[in-house]
Amino acid sequence: MSELLDDVLTLPDQLRWGLDLDPTGMGSANGMVLLGMGGSAMAATVASLAATSPVRIEVHRSYGLPAWALEAGASVLAVSYSGNTEEVLSGVDAAFAGGLDVSMVTSGGRLEEIANERGLPLVLVPGGMQPRAGVGYQASAVTRVLGASGAIADDRGELTEAADVVDTLLGDGNGPAVKQSAVIARDLLGKTAVIYGGFGVGETAAYRWKTQLNENAKAPAYWGVVPEMNHNELEGWHDSTGEGFAVVFLRDENDHPRIKSRLDLSEALIAETATNAGTVASNGTGVIARLSSLAVVGDIASLLVADQAGTDPTPVNTIEGFKESLGREDQ
């Protein structure tokens, strides 16, 4: 656990890393598509939520490009920590075929090669980490790109506040986020985790919690968003159906008043049948600060669950084996 935990503790420095970047010329008034999968898509989503302009921005988590991007002449930002993500490379190929402007955020790999071959705008982030652990570097880079394009009004302010907030929460490895993570992790151990958050910041953080529990704790985990889950998923929590589940609720200060009420009622109803593992409240003013303050608690909790279960959180053998099988199918 120690290496990944050390990486989590560097999150404030990762967020500050992009402050001195000058990504001028990356972006378009015709809209932007941010290509990414996994942690890279999470980084792109974090940055996109801070957008303040009416320019259309879409995070694309699949092959190719959305149809609107080609029709509108949007710019494409390829975000891949390894630089070798096949879905992202597929989108880059589609962008070239459609004559769209392309830029890259990566630590190397094929994306760096393509950028150098074609003379494309490139932001190289520090490499050598698990992609999920380097989200801060990528989020910092994408935020600065969106800021340079005019999509985020105060990108440097967003990143600075987020770094300061997470610094305070982490302390020297014994701050309030670490202490809260330990309490939550005890309730999650041996249970299937379900994470709920409100539309926007809360749901994005909930998805981050889910994926961190998947990769670090090697366990199934699920997430949902309020108010949507009140119209379907809530019906599933009845009688004894919650046995074996532990639920975490993520609250954002900027949640719509009705979402706050719905979260209150949902938490009370679900607590009758499932373990309530706790509630995490956001800190800060800006979008990136609030989101990061929710997500970092889940980052640490996932590592603590792994540690308590005697699981090594670092390797992702199932994912790597799947990729190898997929490669064999392509031959």
**What percent of the chain is modeled with pLDDT above 90?**
89
Instruction: Let me know whether 187 and 61 are in one domain.
Output: no
Number of domains in the chain: 2
Task: From residue 211, give the alpha-carbon distance in Å to each of 67, 102, 181, 205.
Answer: 28, 28, 16, 10
Query: Given a cut of 70, is residue 328 above it in pLDDT?
Result: no
Region for residue 276 given its phi and psi (left: phi exceeds 0; alpha: psi -120 to 50; beta: otherwise): beta
Question: Mean pLDDT, to the nearest integer, of 144-159?
Answer: 93
d(CA 321, CA 17): 33
Tell me, yes or no, whether 319 lies in a domain: no
Model pLDDT for residues 300-313, shown as the tens digit of each residue: 999 999 999 999 99
Q: Which of 114, 140, 163 is the last residue of a domain?
A: 163
- Both tokens of 46, joined, read 């974090």
pLDDT at 154: 94
Task: Note whether 116 and 184 are same-domain residues.
Answer: no
Residue 313 lies in a domain: no
Supply 131's token pair. Answer: 């992609």
User: Is the same domain home to 114 and 247?
Assistant: no
The answer to whether residues 196 and 101 belong to one domain is: no
Taking residues 197-202, what's their average pLDDT? 97
Residue 251 half-sphere exposure, CB side, CA atoms within 13 Å? 14
Q: Would you say the C-alpha torsion 38, 39, 43, 49 has a positive or negative sign?
A: positive
Q: Are residues 260 and 189 in the same domain?
A: yes
Q: Note the pLDDT tens digit of each residue in 251-282.
A: 999 999 999 999 999 999 999 999 999 999 99
Could you tell me the residue range of the domain that residue 274 belongs to? 171-308
Cα→Cα distances 25→48, 179, 238, Å: 17, 43, 54
Cβ proximity of 175 and 168 under 8 Å: yes
pTM metric for this prediction: 0.95
Of all residues in the chain, the percent with pLDDT exceeding 70 is 98
Q: Which residue reads 């302009």 in tokens? A: 53
Residues 274, 144 share a domain: no
Does 136 reside within a domain? Answer: yes
| Secondary-structure percent of the chain, ordered helix, strand, coil, rounded to 5 | 55, 15, 30
Residues 204 and 140 in one domain: no
Whether 318 is in a domain gets the answer no
Q: Which of 127, 145, 163 is the last residue of a domain?
A: 163
Average pLDDT over residues 133-140: 96
Q: Residue 30: its pLDDT value, please? A: 81
State yes or no: pLDDT of 285 exceeds 60. yes
Q: How far apart are CA 300 and CA 302, in angstroms?
A: 5
Q: Which residues contact 8 (CB under 8 A, 6 or more apart)?
A: 133, 170, 296, 299, 300, 303
Say how far apart CA 60 and CA 79 lie, in whole Å: 10
CATH at residue 273: 3.40.50.10490
Listed residues 110, 140, 163: the one ending a domain: 163
d(CA 129, CA 103): 22
pLDDT of residue 327: 85
Q: 50-63 pLDDT, tens per residue? A: 999 888 999 999 99
Report the mean per-residue pLDDT for the chain: 94
